[in-house]
Amino acid sequence: MAIYRGPGGSGDAVGDSTSEVLLAVAKANEASVSANNSANSATASAASATAAASSATAAESSATASEVSNVAAGSSASAAASSASSASDSATTATTQASAASSSATSAATSATNSANSATASSNSAATAAAQASAAATSATNSANYATASSVSAGNAATSESNAAGSASAAATSATNAASSATAASGSASNAASSATAASNSATTASTQATDAAASATAAASSATAAAASETAAASSASSASTSASNASTSASTATTQASNASTSATNAANSATSASNSATAASNSATNAAASAAEAAATLSSTVKLTGDQTIAGIKTFSSTIVGSINGNAATVTNGLYTTSTINGGTF
């Protein structure tokens, strides 16, 4: 039966209250979903904040690594400069020693030339001495021949005496010449011996100077090798310095990127926190609305006539339509009917 007509049209209070309850349940569900979203947003915000802190820590570590790399680059550059200076000094020393070796070689060549000249002079003196000795021998032979001729001439004839005397004089002159030639030959031989000694000394000096020149050349080669090694070390140090500078630049770029990421993460965290705050506000509003709807539903239920079940109804209820069904109880007044105890025409019922 229809027992209630609300202000919205036909229907019953139970159906309306049921709709209100369903609406309250839907609002409560929305409030639960909003609360879950708020919790998820808060979790995401916390994760973003953690990521931002990690990014900031990584950025600080990268900045520290960049600073260390810059220090290492400075040290490498200083070492490269020192190596380059050492290489320059070694190259200067090698140049000086090469110049000294060249001078020693020049001196050795000069001494060798002098030795060769002395040897040539000795050879010439020896040849001259030999020629003079040969001339002396020839003169001696001639003297002997003259002496023999003189003896023969003396024995043969008195006339030959004058010739013999002349021959004897010639022989004496030849003997004198031979003695002079022998003396000259002796002097030439002595000169040749002196020249040979000087040549030997010059050769020894040349050999010593050549040895010194070889030692100087070896020292110059060693210095050149050391200079090359120093230049190689300088190049390696310069390469290491360049690598360290590149690493420092890369670390700085990484630090900048990580700092930017940290800033972005912080911004995202702030946005997430704002979203979480908004979600929490919406959840609070939804919860408030749900509580109001629940209170309204409870009030509606308490003032609504149920279709089934026991219920105590207070106040006067006016029905605009005929009640169809069984009613148990007593009526206060009866229109066109009988009371349970009535008197009709003097009779009591």
User: What does the alpha-carbon distance between residue 179 and residue 61 come to, in Å, rounded to a whole number?
Assistant: 109
Q: In which band, very low, low, confident or very high, does the pLDDT at 349 lie, cut at 50, 70 and 90?
A: low
Alpha-carbon distance of 239 to 232, in angstroms, equals 10
How far, rounded to the nearest angstrom, does the alpha carbon of residue 329 sit from its chain's CA centroid? 104
> Which residues pair with residue 6 across a beta bridge?
9
Single out the residue of 237, 253, 263, 239 nearest to residue 65, CA to CA. 253
pLDDT higher than 90, residue 321: yes
Across the chain, what does the average pLDDT equal? 74
**Is residue 6's pLDDT more than 90?**
no
Mean pLDDT, range 115-124, rounded to an integer: 70
The CA-based angle 61-65-68, given to 5 degrees, is 140
Determine the residue type at 41: S
User: 110-123 burial string, b = 16+ CB within 10 Å, else e?
Assistant: ebbebbeebbebbe
pLDDT digits (tens, 9 = 90+) for 129-148: 667 767 766 766 776 676 67
| Structure token digits, residue 133 | 């000795």
pLDDT of residue 290 exceeding 70: yes
Distance between CA atoms of residues 255 and 251, nearest Å? 6
Residue 268 confidence (pLDDT): 92
Neighbours of 53 (CB within 10 A): 14
Which residue bears the tokens 């947003």? 41
pTM for this predicted structure: 0.39
CA distance 142 to 161: 19
How far apart CA 108 and CA 181 sit, in angstroms, is 38
Cα separations in angstroms, 241 against 67, 82, 134, 237: 14, 13, 85, 6
CB 300 within 8 A of CB 20: yes
Q: Tens digits of per-residue pLDDT, 36-51?
A: 776 777 677 677 667 7
Helix 13-156, helix 159-302: angle, nearest 10: 180
Consecutive H or E run containing 337? none
- CA 94 to centroid of chain Cα atoms: 33
Q: Do 11 and 5 contact (CB within 8 A), yes or no?
A: yes
Structure tokens at 316: 């006067």
Q: How far apart are CA 285 and CA 30, in angstroms?
A: 10
Q: Is residue 229 classed exposed, middle or buried when 0-12, 13-18 and 19+ CB atoms within 10 A define those classes?
A: middle
Q: Which of 254, 228, 129 is nearest to 187 (CA)?
A: 129
Q: d(Cα 50, Cα 269) in Å, to the nearest integer? A: 9
